Chain A
Amino acid sequence: MTPADVEVQGLARFFGSGARRVVALEPTTFTIATRERIALLGPSGSGKSTLLNLMAGLDTPSAGVIAWPGIGPREALRPLAVGMIHQFAALIPTLTVAENVSLPLVLAHRPNEDAMREALAAVGLLDFGDRLPDELSGGEAQRVGIARVLAHRPRLLLADEPTGQLDEATGQSIMSVILAHAARNASTLIVATHDAAIARQMEIIWHMNHGRLLDRTRRAAT
Chain B
Amino acid sequence: MMAIYWLKSLLRTAAGPTAAAAAGIALAVALASVLGVFVFSATATMTERAIAHVPVDWQVEIAPGVDSASVESAVAEAAVAQAIRPVMYAKVDGFSAVTGDTEQVTGPGRAIGIGPDYLLTFPDQVTLLSGTADGPVLYSQTAANLHAGVGDTINLARPGLPDAKVTVSGIAAIPNVDSLFQAVGVPAGLAPQSPPDNILILPETMWHSLFEGQRAARPDSVRAQLHIRLDRCRVPNDPVDAFGAVKHMANNLAARLAGRAAIADNLAARLDGVRADALYAKVLFLFLGSPGVVLAALVAIAIAAAGRNRRRREQALLRLRGANIIETLAKPAIEVTVIGSAGALAGVVLAIAVLRLIGISVASMGASTWLGFAGFAGLAVAAAAILLPAARDASNLTVATARLCADARARPLWQRLWLDLALLALAGVIFWRVRATSYEIVLASEGVAQTSVHYEAFLAPVALWLGLGLLWIRLARLALTDGSPLCRRILAVSAGDLAKIVAASLSRQAGRLARGVGLLALATGFAVSTAIFNVTYDGQAHVDAELTNGADVNITGSTAHPAGAQLARIRATPGVAAAEPMMHRYAYVGADLQDLYGIDPRSIGAATTLANAYFDNHDANATLAKLAATRDGILVSQETVQDFQLQPGDTVNLRLQSASDHQYQIVPFTFIGVAREFPTAPKDSFLVANSEYIATATSSNAYEVVLVRATDPAAAAMLKSALPSDPALKVTALGEVRSLISSSLTSVNLAGLTRLELAFGLALVGAAAGLVLGLGFVERSRSYAILKALGASSAQLGAFLRSEAIVVGVAGLVFGTVTGFGVAWMLVTMLAGAFDPPPDTITVPYGYIGVALLGAAAIAAIVVAGFERAHARTDPASLKPE
Contact = CB atoms under 8 A, between A and B. Distances in A.
A92 B874 contact: no
A80 interface: yes
B783 interface: yes
B876 to A, nearest CB: 4
Contact of B404 (A58, A80, A109, A134): A134
A109 B497 contact: yes
A3 interface: no
Given A104-B791, A132-B406, A95 B505 contact: yes
Nearest to B404: A134
A106 interface: yes
Given A53-B876, A88-B881, A94-B509, A134 B406 contact: yes
A90 B791 contact: no
A107 B504 contact: no
Nearest to B783: A92
Contacts of B879: 58, 86, 88, 90
B786 A92 contact: yes
A84 to B, nearest CB: 7
A84 B508 CA distance: 26
Contact of A107 (B405, B406, B792, B873): B792
Contacts of A60: 873
Contacts of B881: 88
B43 to A, nearest CB: 50
A99 interface: yes
8 contacts: A78-B789, A86-B879, A88-B879, A93-B508, A94-B783, A107-B787, A107-B791, A107-B792
Interface string A61-97: 0000000000000000111100010101011111110
Given A86-B879, A134-B406, 5 more contacts: A94-B407, A95-B501, A102-B501, A103-B787, A132-B406
A78 B509 contact: no
Contacts of A127: none
Given A78-B791, A96-B504, A99-B504, A91 B405 contact: no
Interface in B763-819: 780, 783, 786-787, 789-793, 796
Nearest to A148: B790
Interface in A93-128: 93-96, 99, 102-104, 106-109
Contacts of A108: 791
Contacts of A103: 501, 787, 790
Interface of B: 404-407, 497-498, 501, 504-506, 508-509, 780, 783, 786-787, 789-793, 796, 873-874, 876, 879-881
A78 B792 CA distance: 8
Contacts of B509: 94
A53 B787 CA distance: 15
A93 B407 CA distance: 9
Contacts of B506: 94
A73 to B, nearest CB: 13
Contact of A106 (B498, B786, B873): B498
Nearest to B497: A109
Contact of A134 (B405, B790, B792): B405
Contact of A90 (B404, B505, B780, B789): B789
Contacts of A58: 789, 874, 876, 879
B876 A93 contact: no
B790 A79 contact: yes
Which residue among A53, A60, A107 has the maximum number of chain B CB atoms within 10 Å of its CB?
A: A107
B196 to A, nearest CB: 86
B504 A92 contact: no
B792 A79 contact: yes
Contact of B508 (A77, A95, A102, A104): A95
Nearest to A50: B876
B807 to A, nearest CB: 13
B505 A106 contact: no
A109 B793 CA distance: 12
B789 A84 contact: yes
A109 B498 CA distance: 9
A90 B796 CA distance: 18
Contacts of A104: 790-791
A85 to B, nearest CB: 12
A99 to B, nearest CB: 6
A54 B703 CA distance: 97
B874 A59 contact: yes
A91 B786 contact: yes
A115 to B, nearest CB: 15
A40 to B, nearest CB: 16
Contacts of B786: 90-92
A60 B877 CA distance: 12
Nearest to A53: B876
A23 to B, nearest CB: 16
B783 A93 contact: yes
Contacts of B789: 58, 78, 84, 90
A33 to B, nearest CB: 24
A92 B504 CA distance: 12
A81 to B, nearest CB: 9
B406 A80 contact: no
A58 B879 CA distance: 10
Contacts of B504: 94-96, 99
Contacts of B791: 77-80, 104, 107-108
B311 to A, nearest CB: 16
Contacts of A92: 505, 783, 786-787
A131 B199 CA distance: 97
A195 to B, nearest CB: 21
A7 B508 CA distance: 42
A44 to B, nearest CB: 14
A106 B501 contact: yes
Given A96-B504, A107-B796, A88 B880 contact: yes
Given A79-B792, A90-B879, A99 B404 contact: no
B808 to A, nearest CB: 15
Contacts of A59: 874, 876
A78 B791 CA distance: 4
A104 B873 CA distance: 17
A58 B405 CA distance: 25
Contacts of A102: 501
Nearest to A80: B791
A53 B874 CA distance: 10
B505 A94 contact: yes
A78 B788 CA distance: 9
Nearest to B508: A94
A134 B881 CA distance: 12
Contacts of B790: 78-79, 103-104, 107, 148
A93 B501 contact: no
B791 to A, nearest CB: 3
A148 B786 CA distance: 12
A92 B498 CA distance: 15
Contact of B501 (A84, A99, A134): A99
A94 B406 contact: yes
A96 B406 CA distance: 11
Contacts of A79: 790-792
A59 B785 CA distance: 12
